[in-house]
Amino acid sequence: MSVAADSQPQQAQEVAVEAGRRRTFAVISHPDAGKSTLTEALALHAAAITSAGAVHGKGDRKGVTSDWMAMEQSRGISITSAALRIDYGECVLNLLDTPGHADFSEDTYRVLSAVDCAIMLLDSAKGLEPQTLKLFDVCRARRVPVITFVNKWDRPGREPLELLDEVEQRIGLRPTPVNWPVGIAGDFRGLLDRASGRYTKMHRTPGGATRAVEEELDSERAAEVEGAEWDQAQEELALLDEIGAHVDEASFLAGESSPVLFGAALPNFGVSQLLATLVDLAPAPGAKPDAHGRERPVSAPFSGQVFKMQANMDQAHRDRMAFLRISSGRFERGMVLTHSETGRPFATKYTQAMFGSQRDTIETAYPGDVIALVNANALSVGDTLYAGPKVEFAAIPSFAPEHFAVVRAKDSGRYKQFQRGIAQLDAEGVVQVLTSDVRGQQAPVLAAVGPLQFEVVTDRMAQEFRAPVELNHLDYTLARRTTPECAPTLHGLSGAEVLTRRGDGELLVLVHNKYRLRVIKRDNPDLVLEPLLAGGAE
Ligand code: GDP
């Protein structure tokens, strides 16, 4: 297809409009806080709104009922897919999955390098939990703005003000409620929208169906119906006004404040408010700085960065799939792109968009969208693909590992395969590889954020590289960055070991636990022991 010269500005305009309609985000939470339930509720709710709109407008869309049934059947969407695309009115929401269960790993963190916003999901009875805190650390480090959703308000939980206080005290994020619950956790009556003063009463549907019925009441009527609960909410709101806890876009985008919403994903309370807030406040994809610090606008020619690799999704073909988030330009299937790291062409004939559990072939995509590249054996996490003049993006950082194991080839006759396999898994970002002269190249140390990464290594080394390995877990739980000048002192200390990370050449010191680290610091105040990105809380 030949492109007329004057179609370029037109395409740039189209890309800017498409990017403006998109919101690319992830939900960060601790297992069981309700991420899958919320994902489903968001998808169902958005589908209902989009389809309801279609009744009056475009008549070719599917009806509400069929959409709902199809989605209900695919329960578990957020677990099986990398990205879920949700059409919501005029907007396109791309919800990227952050696996948060047993498969917690560096992948989970890397996803946060591909989003523009995160929803921090809290269980109203539990508040901030460990995995949420770790993921929040990554958001902070990557300057990802965070919206907070306090879930399970239909069950007994904590006081709303106490939960806000916890967020402020423990993570230093100023909470700014968008809505406020009337009725304590477990006795949920409805939600008051602070900006408009509108009150929405929530009715459970009989028989425990998962859809809430919402009813708007004016404040006079609400005061009458809700009685003391209403008065208490008014008092709390007055307090919030007094301390100036107002939603503020600039500080939200700067990662200083977090808009907070209350609700319950299971009975679908407050989900529509969350969607509306996401569209209103979450930033659309914007310019991304390249490796040299130059801002690349969304309307520039195509570019994108791989944030996740998945191997052997199809057992029959041992292929790798790369998930790429588009930063700029329009993607069209069949485009030949350039792989920045090797300068080689990369054909995109087999490209898929991930819609729920099914894979659909994608034809066009825009900034903020995620595309899955099949047969991507040449790609690694952090790699850039582009069209036109060369583009390079900064590498996705390695995260603070907490699990360490020595890896050895079971069969010394397979040492070459062993070396090749370990180098490949290191390049792909499956695990971090650390070495030292003391341990030698035959027995490198593997470092991981989550223990599942070790299982992937063991499995792939045996299946793919035909070099079965044995792992010996090490008794370290912390890593700190240090300098060559400090290494001699550290070598002499017990409960600590210095190794070099192959990927970036960083010198890391591994320490048994935070108590040991504290003692080392106390006895050697001049040592450089810097925390690594996320997960390194003491
Ligand atoms: P995930 O591990 O974060 O994906 O959590 P799930 O979505 O699987 O939810 C964990 C459990 O909490 C399930 O039994 C859900 O039914 C339940 N759950 C999730 N949201 C709510 C809610 O708003 N109210 C109540 N009562 N239960 C919920």
Does the annotation place 364 within a ligand binding site?
no
pLDDT in tens, 500-521: 999 889 999 999 999 999 999 9
**pLDDT range class, residue 136, cuts 50, 70, 90:** very high
- Would you list the DSSP string of 17-31? HHHHTEEEEEEE--T
**pLDDT range class, residue 356, cuts 50, 70, 90:** very low
- Give the per-residue pLDDT at 208: 45
Question: Whose CA is closest to atom 11 on ligand 1?
Answer: 32
Does the annotation place 97 within a ligand binding site?
yes
From residue 61, give the alpha-carbon distance in Å to each of 18, 23, 42, 45.
Answer: 20, 22, 19, 16
**pLDDT range class, residue 366, cuts 50, 70, 90:** very high
Residue given tokens 């306090």 in the structure block: 150
- Give the per-residue pLDDT at 9: 81
pLDDT in tens, 372-413: 887 788 888 899 999 999 999 988 888 889 999 999 999 999
Distance 264 CA to ligand 1 centre (A): 9
Give yes or no for a contact between 447 and 400, defined as CB atoms under 8 angstroms apart.
no
- Portion of the chain with pLDDT greater than 90, in percent: 59
Please give the Cα distance from 151 to 39 (Å, whole number): 12
pLDDT (mean) for 207-235: 84
Predicted ipTM of the assembly: 0.99
Out of 121-135, 155-169, 208-222, least confident range: 208-222
- Give the per-residue pLDDT at 4: 42
Does the annotation place 206 within a ligand binding site?
no
Distance 152 CA to ligand 1 centre (A): 8
Residue count of the chain: 538
Distance 232 CA to ligand 1 centre (A): 28
Alpha helices, DSSP H, located in 344-447: 415-428
- Give the per-residue pLDDT at 462: 92
Amino acid found at 29: S
pLDDT (mean) for 472-484: 95
Q: Is the pLDDT of residue 357 over 60?
A: no
Residue given tokens 């709104």 in the structure block: 49
Please give the Cα distance from 161 to 215 (Å, whole number): 25
Helix (H, G, I), strand (E, B) or coil at 369: coil
Return the bridge partners of 201, or none: 190, 215
Choose one of 27, 32, 81 to mutate for the ligand 1 pocket test, by most ligand atoms within 8 angstroms of C-beta: 32
Question: Whose CA is closest to atom 28 on ligand 1?
Answer: 266
Please give the Cα distance from 359 to 352 (Å, whole number): 6
Helices 219-226 and 228-242, packing angle to 10 deg? 120
pLDDT in tens, 196-214: 999 999 887 665 445 667 8
Strands 91-96 and 22-28: parallel
pLDDT (mean) for 411-431: 91
Q: Is the pLDDT of residue 77 over 70?
A: no
Does the annotation place 99 within a ligand binding site?
yes
In 225-291, beta strands by DSSP E: 257-262, 288-289
Give yes or no for a contact between 190 and 216, defined as CB atoms under 8 angstroms apart.
no
Does the annotation place 59 within a ligand binding site?
no
- Give the per-residue pLDDT at 398: 82
Distance 276 CA to ligand 1 centre (A): 22
Choose one of 266, 273, 274 to mutate for the ligand 1 pocket test, by most ligand atoms within 8 angstroms of C-beta: 266
Please give the Cα distance from 47 to 87 (Å, whole number): 7
Mean pLDDT (the chain, rounded): 85
Helix (H, G, I), strand (E, B) or coil at 451: coil
**pLDDT range class, residue 320, cuts 50, 70, 90:** confident
Q: Which residues line ligand 1 (CB under 6 A)?
A: 29, 31-37, 151-152, 154-155, 264-266
Domains and CATH numbers, the chain: 21-57+68-281 (3.40.50.300), 292-386 (3.40.50.300), 403-531 (3.30.70.3280)
What's the start-to-end Cα distance of the chain, in Å?
Answer: 57
Distance 335 CA to ligand 1 centre (A): 42
Give the predicted TM-score (pTM) of the model: 0.86
- Give the per-residue pLDDT at 456: 85
**pLDDT range class, residue 319, cuts 50, 70, 90:** low
Helices 228-242 and 160-171, packing angle to 10 deg? 30
**pLDDT range class, residue 371, cuts 50, 70, 90:** confident
Residue (of 379, 348, 380, 377) closest to 364 by Cα position: 348
pLDDT (mean) for 262-282: 93
Distance 281 CA to ligand 1 centre (A): 25
Q: Is the pLDDT of residue 433 over 70?
A: yes
**pLDDT range class, residue 50, cuts 50, 70, 90:** low
